[in-house]
Amino acid sequence: MKQNFWMPALALLSTFMAGCNTVPAGGVNASVQMVSGTVTALSADRSSLTVQGQNFSLGSANVRVNGRSANARAISVGQRVRVIAREGKVSDVEVSLELKGVLGAVDTTAMTITVAGVTVKYSATTRFDASGDSDDSALSGAGVAALTIGVFVEVTGSSDPVSKLIVATKVEVKTPGELGEDGMDNEHELKGAVKALSGTSFKLGETMVDCTAPCTLPVGLKDGDFVEAEGAFDAATKTLTAKKVKLEDRDGEDGDGDNRPALPGASVTLESRLGMFDATAKTFKLEGYVVDYGAATLTGTLKDRARVKVVGVVDALNVKLVKASAVTVLPGDSGSGDDDSK
């Protein structure tokens, strides 16, 4: 009789202890979520935004633009962002811009603009916001017509692997006052592949970058490396006197990936163009992560530069690895052109 009395109690205790050692189904950080994509909606007071169809309340979120601290006023519809939420509350929003600088020229025939000496291609779907923080944007022609040479603009977009030009998804005019309210400044920022490296100078497109002291070049920099350069631009000489030059991840978009919060076990939803596609290993690179799609449900045909949506979990032991559960090649993708990544 005693044995019959204690057996259920021991079984209950054993079940309780086993539950204490169980890792949540989503991983060690199952309550952490990361979503990347384009901002499709933004409340007027910048208290919430919508990405990938999900609405996020910003609260006291830490906002960064190209790795630099800013505030929620720096966010606008059409920008590419990464949102990190913990326990349902947004902790970080990372905004990625391709260019910041003075508008030097507009060519409506070629459908290009020049920003800080860099040629930017626009398309019929490019958003132009000539009124800054008001988010009052217009598409293509009408939007370009509202631009004035000499204004300071921020460009969201990506590099076209064929033309090597930046293809804009959004061009937003910023006044000095708006930049200050955003927590940003009017320093020019350029991204691109290094060419004609000689000593402490090199070219990004047609712009010469001068990185003399106190600016220092990344160790081992070579032609072809992808970098971000920040400094003052001289339109007459097409020269950027750099304060800082840092290596970027061509496939990962954000140069500050190493500073990204570690998110082992976090659920992720990523949307961008993939790189380094390996059909044998069933991996590719996306936004600074290696994505393992070996066990994923695949919709569409993968290829280099395809724009995809990935749903998965950050590996518990390797925070740069995402184990995908679903990979979708987005409809109408051509593998080049106006994308959201590199």
pLDDT category, 257, cuts 50, 70, 90? very low
**pLDDT reported for residue 51:** 92
**pLDDT reported for residue 140:** 67
Whether residue 306 contacts residue 320, with contact meaning beta carbons closer than 8 Å, is answered with no
Tokens representing 182 are: 């955003």
Residue with tokens 């293509």: 140
**pLDDT reported for residue 133:** 65
Selected residue with higher pLDDT from 44 and 296: 296
Q: How far is CA 133 from CA 161, 264, 267, 281, in A?
A: 31, 35, 31, 45
pLDDT above 60: residue 252: no
Averaged confidence pLDDT in the chain: 82
pLDDT above 90: residue 258: no
Whether residue 140 contacts residue 123, with contact meaning beta carbons closer than 8 Å, is answered with yes
**pLDDT reported for residue 211:** 96
DSSP state of 76: -
pLDDT category, 131, cuts 50, 70, 90? confident
**pLDDT reported for residue 66:** 85
**pLDDT reported for residue 26:** 43
**pLDDT reported for residue 327:** 96
Answer CATH for 187-248 from 3.20.20.10, 2.40.50.140, 1.10.3720.10, 3.40.720.10: 2.40.50.140
**pLDDT reported for residue 260:** 57
The rounded Cα 48 to chain-centroid distance in angstroms is 18
**pLDDT reported for residue 19:** 40
User: CA-based diameter of the chain, in Å?
Assistant: 97
**pLDDT reported for residue 105:** 92
On the 0-12 / 13-18 / 19+ scale of CB atoms within 10 A, 197 is middle
Of 46, 78, 50, give the one whose Cα is nearest residue 63: 46
Give the pLDDT mean for 19-23.
38
Q: What is the pLDDT of residues 266-316, one digit of tens each?
A: 999 998 888 889 999 999 998 889 999 999 999 999 998 888 999 999 999
Q: How far is CA 23 from CA 87, 233, 293, 322, in A?
A: 17, 52, 22, 18
Give the C-alpha separation, 196 to 162, whole Å.
20
DSSP output for 119-142: EEE--TT-EEETTGGG--EEEHHH
From-to residues of CATH 2.40.50.320 in the chain: 97-186
pLDDT above 60: residue 69: yes
Give the pLDDT mean for 222-226.
89
pLDDT category, 182, cuts 50, 70, 90? confident
Residues 6+ apart with CB under 8 A from 157: 98, 120, 126, 166, 167, 168, 169, 170, 338
**pLDDT reported for residue 67:** 83
pLDDT above 70: residue 27: no
pLDDT category, 341, cuts 50, 70, 90? very low
Question: β-strands 112-115, 118-121: how paired?
Answer: antiparallel
**pLDDT reported for residue 250:** 55
The rounded Cα 38 to chain-centroid distance in angstroms is 9
Of 264, 265, 279, 270, give the one whose Cα is nearest residue 252: 270
Whether residue 231 contacts residue 207, with contact meaning beta carbons closer than 8 Å, is answered with no
Question: β-strands 166-173, 127-129: how paired?
Answer: parallel
Selected residue with higher pLDDT from 30 and 213: 213
Give the C-alpha separation, 15 to 18, whole Å.
5
At position 173, the amino acid (one-letter code) is V
CATH, range 97-186: 2.40.50.320
**pLDDT reported for residue 22:** 35
CATH, range 25-94+255-342: 2.40.50
pLDDT category, 125, cuts 50, 70, 90? confident
pLDDT above 70: residue 57: yes
Say how many C-beta atoms besides its own lie within 10 A of residue 121's C-beta.
Answer: 18
SS3 at position 219: coil
Q: What is the pLDDT of residues 88-109, one digit of tens each?
A: 789 999 998 889 999 999 999 9
Selected residue with higher pLDDT from 8 and 196: 196
Give the pLDDT mean for 160-164.
68
Residue with tokens 């959004």: 170
Tokens representing 214 are: 């106190």
pLDDT category, 30, cuts 50, 70, 90? low
Give the pLDDT mean for 194-203.
94
From-to residues of CATH 2.40.50.140 in the chain: 187-248
pLDDT more than 70, % of the chain: 80
* 81 strand-pairing partners: 37, 95
pLDDT above 80: residue 156: yes
Question: β-strands 195-198, 201-204: how paired?
Answer: antiparallel
Q: What is the pLDDT of residues 138-155, one digit of tens each?
A: 766 788 888 899 999 999
